[in-house]
């Protein structure tokens, strides 16, 4: 075991190939008929996280490697850029006020739930059941998990890299591993519950007197979206996508370094400084640039699979996150699971109240919840469980979360955490 870990640590390209091989094998397995039911319950993105994390728990991966830095600095920004280029803002707007309203209510529930979860942890810190060195940095872990539960895994990675020390301290590493474990255990348990509740949607809609006519309207609109002109991924287009994404990521990286020095010239608040640093600025720039390019002819790259290339890069980043985390942390700090349960409970309460006020069908409640807590991979799965023809709605609502997730997590949860702690 130690020899293998030392080998991967000494050969960064070997580590990269090993992580890429894990991702490839997972997707190869997902195409096997005998395993299809497993991947219908727990999608590929779960295994991309879980398997490297399980291997890391047994000491397979080195703690530090240039491979990790390369994936952080270039693969993640490039994946975000390609994903945002593929966004259709007009189609998202066409979802209608109820769908978007439920999405934002769900996101607000995540932010308030994060604060409630941190309050729930205070007695455990006071009683010595959680290490005191976690207390002043708890907001970093919560902000990162908030980003995941509003936007997705890419947002979580972006926020964590924005707030963590360089290099990460041991308490930060413990806390992040615990948050990843909470993400896996609580989020996928919640997904299973939401799918199971689909049999009650008619009763729920009758109870809140929901306007179900909007479902048919959205159904017709989404048929037009699904009739897009997807083309084969050509070699020249693939090389153009990768070159464009890497070049723009490098430019944004250079700009972020200069802007960090500029902001540090007049910002003295320590909490804001720890958030508004180079990587935060890089992700914000990439997000704005990607959304801006989605309104130009560059968006036509989606016809050739820009989002598929973006997801491929993202899954490598997720494998990297798993390789740097392990499940030992949650065994040492099980009370963080309670924080996650309180957190999701507040989120659910916000959605129920919001559905009552907006007379929103349970389809929008469930889909917006999974679009927040799950993301672009699992939201369509939940949407299809409620309305088989409307899986694309889950995807579009999750894209909304991807857009706002980083911003809300960084400038919402972190600043609120400062008020509490």
Q: Are 355 and 208 in contact (CB under 8 A)?
A: yes
Question: What does DSSP assign to residue 388?
Answer: T
Distance CA 126, CA 115 (A): 17
Question: What does DSSP assign to residue 10?
Answer: H
Q: Are 183 and 148 in contact (CB under 8 A)?
A: yes
Q: Which residues lie closer than 8 Å to 233 by C-beta, 6 or more apart?
A: 304, 305, 308, 309
**Ranges of residues in the chain whose predicted pLDDT is under 70:** 1-2, 41, 43, 91-92, 94-95, 152-154, 166, 213-233, 264-277, 280, 325-327, 329, 375-378, 380-381, 384, 388-393, 395-396, 402-403, 405-406, 410-421
Distance CA 36, CA 21 (A): 20
Residue with tokens 């308490």: 171
Distance CA 122, CA 417 (A): 13
Q: Per residue in 278-315, is it b (16+ CB within 10 Å) or e — as a string?
A: bbbbbbbbbbebbeebbeeebbebbebbbbbbbbbbbb
Residue 65 in 3-state DSSP? coil
Give the tokens for residue 20: 């890429």
Q: Are 188 and 46 in contact (CB under 8 A)?
A: yes
Q: Which of 249, 287, 270 is nearest to 78 (CA)?
A: 249
Distance CA 305, CA 301 (A): 7
Q: What is the pLDDT of residues 33-62, one digit of tens each?
A: 888 777 776 767 778 878 888 888 888 888
Q: Are 342 and 313 in contact (CB under 8 A)?
A: no
Distance CA 310, CA 294 (A): 14
**What pLDDT score does 93 carry?**
72
Q: Which of 377, 277, 390, 415 is nearest to 27 (CA)?
A: 377
Q: What is the pLDDT of residues 283-311, one digit of tens each?
A: 778 878 988 898 888 888 888 888 788 87
Distance CA 204, CA 209 (A): 8
Neighbours of 388 (CB within 10 A): 8
Q: Percent helix, strand and coil across the chain, each rounded to 5?
A: 80, 0, 20
**What pLDDT score does 350 carry?**
95
Cα torsion 208, 95, 343, 180: sign: positive
Distance CA 382, CA 363 (A): 9
Give the tokens for residue 34: 């005998």
How long a stretch of residues is the chain?
A: 421
Distance CA 104, CA 100 (A): 6
Question: What does DSSP assign to residue 168?
Answer: P
**Using H for helix, E for strand and C for coil, what is the string for 136-151?**
HHHHHHHHHHHHHHHC
Give the tokens for residue 259: 């802007």
């Amino acid at each position: 075991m130690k020899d293998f870990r030392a080998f991967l640590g000494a050969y960064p390209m070997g580590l990269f190939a090993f992580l890429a091989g894990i991702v490839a094998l997972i997707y190869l397995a997902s195409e096997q008929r005998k395993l299809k039911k497993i991947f219908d319950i727990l999608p590929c993105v779960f295994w991309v996280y879980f398997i490297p994390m399980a291997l890391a728990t047994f000491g397979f991966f080195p703690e530090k490697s240039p491979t990790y830095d390369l994936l952080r600095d270039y693969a993640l920004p490039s994946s975000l850029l390609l994903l945002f280029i593929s966004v259709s803002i007009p189609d998202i707007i066409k979802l209608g006020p109820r769908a978007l309203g439920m999405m934002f209510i769900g996101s607000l529930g995540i932010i308030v739930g994060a604060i409630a979860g941190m309050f729930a942890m205070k007695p455990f810190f006071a009683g010595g059941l959680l290490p005191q060195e976690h207390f002043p940095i708890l907001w970093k872990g919560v902000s990162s998990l908030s980003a995941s539960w509003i936007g997705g895994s890419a947002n979580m990675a972006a926020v964590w890299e924005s707030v963590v020390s360089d290099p990460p301290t041991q308490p930060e590493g413990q806390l992040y591993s615990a948050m990843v474990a909470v993400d896996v255990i609580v989020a996928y348990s919640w997904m299973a519950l939401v799918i199971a509740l689909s049999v009650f949607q008619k009763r729920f809609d009758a109870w809140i007197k929901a306007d179900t006519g909007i479902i048919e309207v959205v159904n017709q609109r989404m048929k037009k979206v699904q009739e897009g002109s997807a083309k084969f991924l050509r070699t020249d287009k693939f090389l153009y996508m990768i070159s464009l994404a890497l070049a723009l990521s490098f430019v944004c990286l250079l700009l972020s370094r200069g802007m960090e020095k500029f902001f540090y010239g007049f910002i003295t608040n320590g909490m804001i400084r720890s958030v508004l640093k180079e990587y935060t600025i890089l992700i914000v720039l990439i997000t704005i640039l990607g959304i801006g390019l989605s309104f130009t002819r560059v968006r036509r790259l989606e016809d050739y699979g820009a989002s598929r290339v973006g997801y491929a890069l993202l899954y490598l980043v997720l494998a990297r996150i798993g390789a740097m985390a392990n499940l030992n942390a949650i065994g040492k700090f099980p009370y963080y699971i309670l924080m996650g349960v309180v957190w999701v409970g507040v989120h659910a309460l916000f959605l129920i109240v919001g559905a009552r006020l907006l007379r929103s069908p349970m389809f929008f409640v469930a889909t917006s919840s999974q679009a927040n807590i799950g993301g672009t991979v699992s939201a369509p799965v939940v949407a299809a469980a409620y309305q088989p023809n409307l899986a694309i709605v889950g995807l579009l609502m999750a894209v909304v979360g991807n857009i706002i997730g980083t911003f809300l997590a960084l400038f919402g949860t972190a600043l609120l955490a400062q008020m509490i702690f």
